[in-house]
């Protein structure tokens, strides 16, 4: 048979030419070079034995970073907000009484999702940047007697870390499940799902795990899994139905959706990097880089929004000094140094910078480079005149 | 200040070593080398000007492959089934009367999602592999007077291509919106959204577009966009809320979720490859490769499940010859040739092979190589003895 269908004549050059950035924003954070190399490995099918080998390893390594023994620990094929919707749509039904600890933008997103599920929502509100004390949190839960309690462990909008021990203890006393947003903390600082008592925790790949965005790790306690098993009405969402996804990824390997081998390769590599470094060493590295950064900005005369005890290690929120045009600072950093940082928004618009120091950038060299550029940009925007 | 936080000492070698595969299944299909190179380009933020440049180009190029002028043409951050859920959750509400043309697995998935949205669902069923005639389809719609009509243009479970002109015409006569699943057809054969009259079409990246899985292109007609604008209750799904996603990707660029620059790079490259080849040339190449493959399997004495006029060009479904152990054929191909093909499932389990010839593999050389290996594996599994 004569060859009739030829390979198309196309060039070798690609269409993607992004500017070089140092990603010091709240995420996506700098991706480790090994993760890019992992993604260049050829795709296998979503039902291939090799895919399930990678997925199995990912599950094992995720248990480590989450600090959990939960069997149901795997990955949702969507970004972090898809993980949030998975957690909420599976455990919040029409009429479910939900208590939401609300001290930032992502708490509000959780509230909005719970509302859309038809829940009876009660919010305990605090200004962005503050956290809830053990006593007041427990008291609120005991008085409200909800079925589900939600909080954000590391609030990306404000830089505050919410401890969850008292929340979980009180929630379990009244028979409630606890959903915690660990989007920003996972991989960069202790999440401690089991020790804290969290029932459902989800995260993302593009912050503490040094991968591109695209997947959402999630973990579900045996208690929550039992609850889910007994749930009588199906989740309105088929795509985020944990029962179906768990069956595909952990039990029967029966097809649910076409998981992206490429994205799983990336996450596998990101988690392997953490394992090689050692989880506690990695946390320590982020903690030290955080302290170094804070020391540096305080030496410049800036104040941090969040008190030292409540700070997220990998996301710093210094206040914008009076008289400084924060948008100009960000524009200068981006234009002159290729450095991305973020500003505040909502009630914190114009009031804080949001500066992430994570993954490959959480080293003294990078922190010093950042501080030098930041100081220069601040002076250029009117600081210290 | 002394350097205290060192770069962690880790190796250079990556953890991902997939087996080499020629992906001749229904998808994921073989990824073009340029797409891998595009994904290795550094991530930028989801609100970076460069991200919106890439996303804008993707929208323009998607309009071409979809065959549409629809302004609302963009990308959902989930796999093809996430696109399906986006289409259905936005346009089907509790009580919505839905007609579902049901001739395969993915029609059933659409039905299931419509049921979960609380719709009043009416199904017109046919055996898998058959298609609906113009008259009977129109008649059914006219008698049922639904608000939404759903069909699958290219049924991956059976290999049948459903023409939609008569369906769309009748649906519009009764005031219904039409949702069409174009997961398998997009990029490999004409989809013709506008010419057909489809209101909402969605697809995936890992079949006719030669990219890894992870995103779902979607397009929405002005008519459907008007309907959506007037919708009074919010979509129960926040993640798949088209209004919010459209605002982020096309209007205000206000943050919704953290879209994956990496996955957008991949899709941008896949679409650029199509543009360089020429869309009609690409269709023609897939059509010719399909005809060559069919000629080859028929020469071996195999029959195709679907009549010639209704076949999907990039997914072939030859019947398993009597006495042949189809699982053995697939295992041999995988083990001895690194070739992945798929079997049938549901009512077609054990009865058909599902063999995709797409993207870089839709050339005579690859088709001949596939046919030779397939013939050998068939003989090894008892064929022609």
Domain boundaries, chain B: 22-27+278-380, 34-274
The verdict on B63 touching A (C-beta cutoff 8 Å) is no
pLDDT at A176 over 80: yes
Kindly report the three-state secondary structure assignment for every residue of chain A. Answer: CCCCCCCCCCCCCCCCCCCCCEECCCCCCCCCHHHHHHHCCCCCCCCCHHHHHHHHHHHHHHHHHHCCCCCEEEEECECHHHHHHHHHHHHCCCCCEEEEEECCHHHHHHHHHHHHCCCEEEEEECCCCCCCCHHHHHHHHHHHCCCEEEEECEECCCCEECCCHHHHHHHHHCCCEEEEECCCCCCCCCCCHHHHCCCEEECCCCCCCCCCCCCEEEEECHHHHHHHHHCCCCCCCCCCCHHHHHHHHHHCCCCCCCCCHHHHHHHHHHHHHHHHHCHHHHHHHHHHHHHHHHHHHHHCCCCECCCHHHECCCEECEECCCCCCHHHHHHHHHHHHCEECEECCHHHCCCEEEEECCHHHCCHHHHHHHHHHHHHHHHHCCCCC
Contacts of A18 (CB under 8 A, 6+ apart): B41, B42, B43, B44, B50, B261, B265
Q: What is the maximum alpha-carbon separation in chain B? A: 81
- Which residues from chain B sit within 8 angstroms of residue A37, using beta carbons? 14, 40
Mean pLDDT of B299-306: 98
* Pairwise CA distance, residues B382 & B13, whole Å: 44
Select from B42, B262, B285 the Cβ nearest to the Cβ of A5.
B285
pLDDT at B58 over 60: yes
Smallest CA–CA distance from B3 into chain A, residue: A364
Kindly report, residue by residue over B308-352, the tens digit of the pLDDT. Answer: 999 999 999 999 999 999 999 999 999 999 999 999 999 999 999
Mean pLDDT of B94-118: 98
Q: What is the pLDDT of residue B4?
A: 79
Size of interface A-B (CB pairs under 8 A): 301
ipTM over 0.90: yes
Kindly report, residue by residue over A2-58, the tens digit of the pLDDT. Answer: 557 888 888 889 999 999 999 999 999 999 999 999 999 999 999 999 999 999 999
Average pLDDT over all residues of chain B: 96
**Which of A151-155, A183-187, B172-176, B252-256 is the least confident region?**
B252-256
Burial class (CB in 10 A: 0-12, 13-18, 19+), B284: middle
Q: What is the pLDDT of residue B1?
A: 44
Q: How many residues does this entry show for chain B? A: 385
The verdict on B87 touching A (C-beta cutoff 8 Å) is no
* B206–A276 CB contact, under 8 Å: no
pLDDT at A192 over 90: yes
* Pairwise CA distance, residues B88 & B117, whole Å: 8
* Pairwise CA distance, residues A89 & A96, whole Å: 11
* B5–A285 CB contact, under 8 Å: yes
Considering the domain A22-27+278-380 in this protein, what is its CATH number? 3.90.1150.10
Element (H, E) at B356: strand B353-356
pLDDT at A160 over 90: yes
Say if domain A33-274 classifies as CATH 3.30.200.20.
no
Rounded to a whole number of angstroms, the distance from the CA of B194 to the nearest CA of chain A is 28
Report, at the CATH architecture level, how domain B34-274 is classified: 3-Layer(aba) Sandwich (3.40)
- The distance in angstroms from the start CA to the end CA of chain B is 80
Kindly report, residue by residue over B207-254, the tens digit of the pLDDT. Answer: 999 999 999 999 999 999 999 999 999 999 999 999 999 999 998 999
Q: How far, in whole angstroms, is CA A289 from its chain's centroid?
A: 19
Which pLDDT band, with edges at 50, 70 and 90, does A385 fall under? low
Same fold, B22-27+278-380 and B34-274: no
Kindly report, residue by residue over B267-294, the tens digit of the pLDDT. Answer: 999 999 999 999 999 999 999 999 999 9
- Which residues from chain A sit within 8 angstroms of residue B39, using beta carbons? 36, 39-40, 262
Whether B13 contacts A300, CB under 8 Å? no
- Which residues from chain B sit within 8 angstroms of residue A31, using beta carbons? 42-43
Mean pLDDT of A340-364: 97
Q: What is the pLDDT of residue B11?
A: 87
pLDDT at A274 over 50: yes
Kindly report, residue by residue over A84-118, the tens digit of the pLDDT. Answer: 999 999 999 999 999 999 999 999 999 999 999 99
Beta strands B342-343 and B353-356, pairing class: antiparallel
The verdict on A384 touching B (C-beta cutoff 8 Å) is no
Burial class (CB in 10 A: 0-12, 13-18, 19+), B95: exposed
Q: What is the pLDDT of residue A1?
A: 45
* Pairwise CA distance, residues B345 & B294, whole Å: 21
Kindly report, residue by residue over B352-381, the tens digit of the pLDDT. Answer: 999 999 999 999 999 999 999 999 999 999
| E strand map for B93-227 | 97-102, 120-125, 148-152, 154-155, 160-161, 177-181, 200-202, 216-220
Percent of chain B having pLDDT more than 70?
99
Which pLDDT band, with edges at 50, 70 and 90, does A295 fall under? very high
Q: What is the pLDDT of residue A3?
A: 58
Q: What is the pLDDT of residue B348?
A: 97
pTM of the prediction?
0.97
Average pLDDT over all residues of chain A: 96
The verdict on B261 touching A (C-beta cutoff 8 Å) is yes
């Amino acid at each position: 048979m004569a060859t009739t269908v030829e390979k198309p004549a196309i060039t070798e050059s690609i269409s993607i030419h992004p500017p070089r950035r140092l990603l010091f924003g709240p995420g996506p954070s700098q991706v480790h070079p090994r993760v890019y190399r992992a993604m260049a490995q050829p795709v296998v099918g979503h039902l291939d034995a090799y895919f399930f080998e990678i997925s199995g390893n990912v599950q094992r390594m995720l248990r480590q970073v989450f600090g959990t023994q939960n069997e149901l620990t795997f990955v949702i094929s969507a970004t972090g907000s898809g993980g949030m919707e998975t957690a909420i749509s599976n455990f919040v039904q029409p009429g479910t009484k939900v208590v939401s600890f609300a001290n930032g933008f992502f708490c509000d997103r959780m509230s909005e999702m719970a509302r859309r599920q038809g829940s009876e929502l009660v919010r305990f509100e605090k200004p962005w940047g503050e956290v809830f004390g053990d006593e007041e949190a427990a008291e609120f839960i005991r008085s409200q007697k909800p079925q589900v309690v939600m909080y954000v462990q590391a609030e990306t909008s404000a830089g505050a870390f919410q401890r969850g021990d008292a929340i979980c203890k009180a929630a379990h006393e009244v028979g409630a499940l606890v959903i915690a947003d660990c989007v920003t903390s996972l991989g960069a600082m202790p999440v401690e799902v089991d020790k804290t008592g969290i029932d459902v925790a989800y995260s993302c790949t593009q912050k503490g795990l040094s991968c591109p965005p695209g997947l959402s790790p999630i973990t579900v306690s045996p208690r929550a899994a039992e609850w889910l098993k007994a749930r009588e009405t199906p989740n309105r969402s088929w795509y985020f139905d944990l029962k179906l996804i768990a069956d595909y990824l952990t039990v029967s390997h029966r097809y649910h959706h076409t998981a992206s081998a490429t994205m799983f390769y990336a996450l596998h590599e990101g988690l392997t990097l953490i394992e090689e470094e050692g989880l506690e060493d990695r946390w320590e590295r982020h903690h030290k880089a955080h302290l170094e950064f804070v020391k540096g900005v305080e030496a410049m005369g800036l104040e941090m929004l969040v008190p030292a005890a409540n700070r997220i290690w990998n996301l710093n929120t210094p206040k914008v000094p009076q008289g400084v045009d924060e948008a100009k600072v960000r524009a200068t950093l981006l234009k002159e140094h290729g450095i991305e940082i973020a500003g505040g928004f909502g009630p914190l618009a114009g009031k804080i910078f949001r500066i992430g120091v994570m993954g490959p950038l959480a080293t003294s060299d990078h922190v010093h480079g950042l501080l030098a550029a930041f100081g220069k940009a601040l002076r250029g925007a009117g600081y210290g005149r």
